[in-house]
Chains A and B, each alone.
Chain A
Amino acid sequence: MSDVQTYPVTVTVNGKKIQRFVESRTLLIHFLREELNLTGSHIGCETSHCGACTVEIDGTSVKSCTMFAVQANGAVVNTVEGLANSDGTLHALQEGFRQMHGLQCGFCTPGMLMRAKVLLSENPDPTEEEIRHGIAGNLCRCTGYQNIVKAIQYAAAKLNGRTYQEAAE
């Protein structure tokens, strides 16, 4: 098809304003990965189940495989590429995942990090149960979740000015 209609999209991605023309059917995850070369957000299932494609849109968590790029017109989108602090040091969540071994193969990690970021902005000091419910839309096939929960607890402690104390088993 030579004359496929395209639509103007203006989005702020990781603080940078971006304008592009997209086909209506372009999913946001493909726009991020293929158009903007932001391959941090992963495609796991393409069926809205795994959460590997989770990004932050206007302060909320969205599975970017289940949204058209045109729907994001005007939105502020943050991906894992924009998570580190502006001085280049790791975000508390990234540090938590590293310190607490919150990843093994790392495939789920970008989605977990971006989901956890919004979770902590809505609930800065979640209980373990609240963390588990909060990441219920993100699947991890490696860690068994235990260390992911600890990593998020580590980040919550750090962001609240405390040092993380692992609970006695």
Chain B
Amino acid sequence: MSDDLEQRLPRAFHRDALPPAPASLIDALERVPDAPVRARRRADRRSFLGFVAAAALVATVGALAISGGSPRPGPVTPTLVPSPSSDTMRLRLEYQVLPSGAAIPTESDRAAVISVLEARLASTGVVDATVTADGTDRIVVELPGVADAEPIRRLIGQVGAVEFVPLGSSELTVGQRIGPGRFAALFTGDQIASASAAADQDGRPAIEFTLKPEGTRMFAEYTSQNVGSYFAITIDDVVITAPIIQNGIADGEVQITGGGAGGFDATEAAAIVAILDSGPLPFPIREMASQPADASPSAP
């Protein structure tokens, strides 16, 4: 019997061809060496997708709760940007605006990208950053010297497409990426009227947002009819929260908190708020080589 299995298994494994590495992975490999060294604080909690594919806002796993209303929010200062440090230089980040599917970005599309980036930077408290068009398809972001520009980079590089996704009985992990076509979104981030960083009743960082009337109606209808089901909010197809619906949420006022030992920290809450508030980039961008702004230019 065992012998038989040992003969059959290789044949079964090699009967059909398996797919090759997708283009996105080949592309990601080439960018791996460009990614800065980072610490894996909890390697089991998140995906590196975020910075190799400039896609993920990854939060921690925890018992997450989604709730209507705004229970005693305390002010939380966005802390995405560390204080400028005297021994760091102004950082120059250069991006290429990429086509989206068959759509080629025009000059006004690039201007729209720039204004989203400006909004994101402003909402996270960066002082003295500039976002300018350069050449035919480039955008240059210059930042005051910061000890750690990585959070900013990630914030800038994300498309930031937000979706509200009913999951039914599928329990997803925060940080997990939802493949295309796996779940249909109920609505997208364009139904968010405003978002802000807050604190939950225990003082932990939370994110609050208000939905527009149409989003409010859809969310109320869905949540009231699907108590006990899972529901995810995703950014660029990565789950930022995937709680169980505990009650119908009628008023479009939503607070997301991370529970358990994890939860959002103030930094990630600020980044998520910036994305929710600024809306998505109309076209994806790719970071080109970056260097300190006052470094002498080197020959290509």
B partners with A: no
Residues of B within 8 A of A (CB): none
